[in-house]
Amino acid sequence: MIRVIVADDQALVRAGFRSMLERQDDIVVVGEAADGVEAVEAAESLRPDVMCMDIRMPNRDGIEATRQIVNSSVGTRVLILTTFDVDRYVYDALVAGAGGFLLKDAPPELLVDAVRTIAAGEALLAPSVTRRLVETYVSQPPPGEERPAKLDALTDREIDVLRQIAAGRSNAEIGTELYLSEATVKTHVTRILAKLQLRDRVQAVVLAYELGLVRPGQRR
């Protein structure tokens, strides 16, 4: 059973999300929070698998709440829910450790799928949205700069896989692109995250852009 907390400052929104999620046999909403302070406290006391987090809330916003929850030992993953498809706050929340984000006006079935995806430890960020967010907000290294030393820990194949991750591709898609089995890709991804001390694929995407491994407008 996937345990979920819904954090939003609007009671009607919380009620709507709760109703959608609790229709599922494998999801239970164990609590609600009306602001970032309550969200952090609820995560610590109830230890849900997923926190559905609004960004703009009183007392403590969703970004700081996300950072505190992710950096704690509760093991809760955060799904950002927003009314904006491109928002500086969304990017900041991803850097803070959110596992992905979803628009509030998305169909109910997408919210359910998003919760399951985040609970399974996968990142939820559409490639087009990833590209728009990162290309807009990440500072790019100067053209011609040599490969950052941080990437020296990776093999050439792992760098190839990291580029594919940054393009928003799934393990299956990466395998097809690089002629690797899905299991081999999964092993490469695990090693990349460990070597670069990254929490998940979202952080890998951000780092790939920050280091200049992938640049705005680049297509593979």
- 3-class secondary structure, 5: strand
Res 127: pLDDT: 55
Res 41: pLDDT: 95
Res. 84: pLDDT tops 50: yes
The percent of residues above 70 in pLDDT, for the chain, comes to: 84
pLDDT category of residue 85 using cuts at 50, 70 and 90? low
- 3-class secondary structure, 118: helix
Under a CB-based contact definition with an 8 Å cutoff, are residues 58 and 9 in contact? yes
CA 18 to chain centre: 21
Residues 6+ away with beta carbon under 8 Å from 20: 108, 111, 112
11-25, 83-97, 158-172: least confidently modelled range: 83-97
- The residues with which 58 forms a beta bridge, in sequence order, are none
Res 219: pLDDT: 46
Q: pLDDT digits over 194-204, tens only?
A: 999 988 887 88
Arithmetic mean of pLDDT, 160-174: 86
Under a CB-based contact definition with an 8 Å cutoff, are residues 217 and 135 in contact? yes
Arithmetic mean of pLDDT, 151-171: 89
31 vs 220, which has greater pLDDT? 31
Q: Domains of the chain (ranges plus CATH)?
A: 2-124 (3.40.50.2300), 141-210 (1.10.10.10)
The percent of residues above 90 in pLDDT, for the chain, comes to: 45
d(CA 109, CA 123): 17
Res 201: pLDDT: 82
Res. 184: pLDDT tops 90: yes
Q: pLDDT digits over 108-147, tens only?
A: 888 898 899 888 877 776 555 666 666 666 655 555 555 6
**The tokens of 80 are what?**
């950002």
d(CA 164, CA 110): 24
Res 93: pLDDT: 78
d(CA 178, CA 189): 13
Under a CB-based contact definition with an 8 Å cutoff, are residues 174 and 164 in contact? yes
106 vs 143, which has greater pLDDT? 106
Residue 26 has φ and ψ, to the nearest 5°, of -105, 10
